[in-house]
Amino acid sequence: MNIILLGPPGAGKGTQARVLCEKYSLVQLSTGDMLREAKKADSEIGKRAAAIMAKGELVTDDVVIGLIEDKIAEGGNVEGFIFDGFPRTLGQADALEELLMKTGQNLDHVIELFVDDNKLIERITGRFTCSSCGELYHKATKPPKEKGLCDICGAAGSFKFRQDDNEDSLKTRLLAYYRDTSPLIGFYHAKKILRKIDGLGSIDEIQKNIKNVIGKFN
């Protein structure tokens, strides 16, 4: 089963992808995470992407398609993928379709998480992750149970905020979402694989709604 999670920055794609991966034994492919890793490793791609990401603009299609192509080729014995933050343009969507076709796979569900713009700023500016295991937190809605300690791996004081999670960058990221990514909603609607989910609510509620919709169409 292959799933795309579609939605503006802060809609909860990463959080939901992590839970769904466990439930359905899928592999999460987040181009944002891959680019941040490339940046950390100071690779050529990372260096080129860093400034673009800081501003909240989109990295070119060829770069992100190349990253996804490598991961799909690595494939291995997986049940399928959850694409988180990819595709973000119609060009990327076409490329993904081709890549999956080459390996005899289909796209099963495109889950659109919709959230009011005003809520996104709240979500974005409060979120942080554990740099040891990647668990996602939020100051107001999901703080660690014990201050300074990761609930999952127990690492102490290893929380980090994203450089691009600020109001200025969010404005550009939202613009990019509505201009370049939202046309994908119509694209997948026409293919009859678009499932719309309200992205407001608790993590568990949203998870339940996603599972229901997947169950209904499988």
- Active-site positions read 13, 88, 127, 162, 173
Report how far apart, in Å, the C-alpha atoms of 138 and of each of 41, 123, 133 are. 26, 7, 15
The verdict on 100 binding ligand AMP (CB under 6 A) reads: no
* Identity of the residue, 176 or 193, whose beta carbon is nearer to ligand AMP in the bound complex: 176
Least Å distance between CB 60 and ligand AMP? 7
H or E stretch at 121: helix 117-126
Binding positions for ligand AMP, 173-212, rule CB under 6 A: 173
Q: What is the C-alpha separation between 218 and 176, in angstroms, rounded?
A: 32
Number of neighbouring beta carbons within 10 Å of residue 161: 13
Calpha distance 23→19 (Å, rounded)? 6
Binding status of residue 88 toward ligand AMP by CB under 6 A: yes
**Residue 95, interface with ligand AMP (CB under 6 A)?**
no
| Binding status of residue 52 toward ligand AMP by CB under 6 A | yes
Nearer to ligand AMP, 63 or 155 (CB): 63
93 binds ligand AMP (CB under 6 A): no
| Tally: H helices and E strands in the chain | 9, 8
- How many residues touch ligand AMP under the rule CB under 6 A: the total is 17
Residue 82 phi/psi, 5-degree rounding, is -110, 115
Instruction: State in angstroms the smallest separation of the CB of 61 from ligand AMP.
Output: 7
Determine the Cα–Cα distance for residues 115 and 72; give it in Å rounded to an integer.
Answer: 30
Work out which of 32, 45, 50, 123 binds ligand AMP, going by CB under 6 A.
32
Per CB under 6 A, residues contacting ligand AMP are 9, 31-32, 35, 52-53, 56-59, 64, 85-86, 88, 92, 164, 173
